[in-house]
Amino acid sequence: MFINCGARLASNGERIPTKNALKQALATQPGAVVFDETALFKTVGDIYGDQIPPATKLVVTGPDPYAKRTWYAIVEAVGGKIKVT
């Protein structure tokens, strides 16, 4: 399953500014990253970085999926680890 989303910090709601910052945040504190689904009719809602469902690829647009799309990433849980490409 593919889910289009944006990424923000759970603590203050700030959007993650770069793909590298997303990788670092997921490597250090995956639960501090929230992926918010951008679809009009949401199927799953918010997903925390430490709770990515198996066989799910999060297609992340950043820093703001609605206004400023300067980077893209695919995030998935593979073998218990988070992979960002």
| CB-CB neighbours of 83 under 10 Å | 14
Kindly tell me if the per-residue pLDDT of 63 is higher than 90: yes
Tell me what the pLDDT averaged over the chain comes to. Answer: 95
pLDDT digits 0-9 by tens, 31-52: 999 999 998 887 888 999 999 9
Q: 3-state class of 78 per DSSP?
A: strand
What pLDDT is stored for residue 42 in this prediction? 78
Q: Cα separation of 36 and 34, whole Å?
A: 6
* pTM score of the predicted model: 0.92
